[in-house]
Amino acid sequence: MTVLYCRGAYVSTSLMPLEIFHSAGFMWNVCLGREPEPRFRITSASVDGDVVEALGPVRLTPDLPISDVEQTDLVFVPTAGMDVDDLLRSNECCLDWLSGMRRKGALVAGVCTGTALLAEAGLLDGRRATTHWAIASMFKDRWPAVDWRPELAVTEDGGVFCGGGLYSAIDLALYLVGRLCGRDVAVEVAKSLVLQMPRTYQTDFGFLPLSRDHSDAAIRRAEKWFCDHFPDDISVDRVAEETNMSPRTFLRRFKAATGETPRSYVQRLRVEAAKSMLEQDRMTVQEVSIAIGYEDVGFFRNLFKRYVGISPTVYRDRYG
């Protein structure tokens, strides 16, 4: 993976994610006296490969210029000051590079003002994204094709990831570790570095992942509707109406785009929400079940075990 060093960057958003990725498979094993098994090979890059003046009296020395990064699995763009025009001017040549990396299959992530580079490169058009609440209105005016959701701390849509405020860089990095290495590894990193598992709302609870990448805009709208209403009693007829389709057409297109039925999609969203609640909140299993839309706690327990492999109680004991 590659961390992009930008002029004026906040050092914490440049280095803390790097340390989190470095810790995956390493720190937890060291703490337990096991042989380290690092999960990431990390490089840092700048526009021209030269030392970058970060915020304050700090200089960041990259490994190489972006032109030498021909292939990577993940690009992480940090916060780089609040002057978005200056950020875009000084990193203009990064735009084609970011687009090129995404075309080659790399996941691309940006945090706070770093999301401006993703938006300017066109990577967020038609996608859900977040950024710092103080600049969200300006971002909405400047990039209206993006579905800006500043209340979210972390978003994922079609292989592009965003973090909201400055320290959402930690949430985003941990989420990416979980996304790429599995939730168990992310929890190990969080415990070994004494961090909380990712917040998903900048105000409260809740990141919910979208499906695999696809180009059906109407089904993307349906997915976002599901994410906003997953605890509710949802009918196919209602969502089909939201997307101006007949129920039969909606079911066919949803399965073709996402690879699963609306019912299983909503179940997965609910289980992901339950996992976050069990990790971070002191709610009982019954309270979690009701909060995500299941009055029948027995059904919830069976569903959770089917998706996760262990019961909600065991999950809380292991990861809470």
**Catalytic status, residue 6:** no
| Alpha carbons 133 and 83: distance in angstroms, whole number | 15
Instruction: Write down the catalytic residue from 112, 162, 181, 227.
Output: 112
In this prediction, the residues of the chain whose per-residue pLDDT falls under 50 are: 201-208
What is residue 279's predicted lDDT score, i.e. its pLDDT? 80
Residues 137-189: pLDDT tens digits?
999 999 999 999 888 888 998 899 999 988 889 999 999 998 899 888 988 89
| Alpha carbons 164 and 149: distance in angstroms, whole number | 9
φ/ψ (deg, to 5) at 27: -65, -45
Query: pTM of the full predicted structure?
Result: 0.69
Q: What share of the chain is helix, strand, coil (3-state, %, to 5)?
A: 50, 10, 40
Instruction: List, in order of start, the domains of the chain with CATH numbers.
Output: 2-192 (3.40.50.880), 215-320 (1.10.10.60)
Question: Residue 46: which of 6, 77, 79 has the closest Cα?
Answer: 6
Residues 245-274: pLDDT tens digits?
999 999 999 999 888 899 999 999 999 889
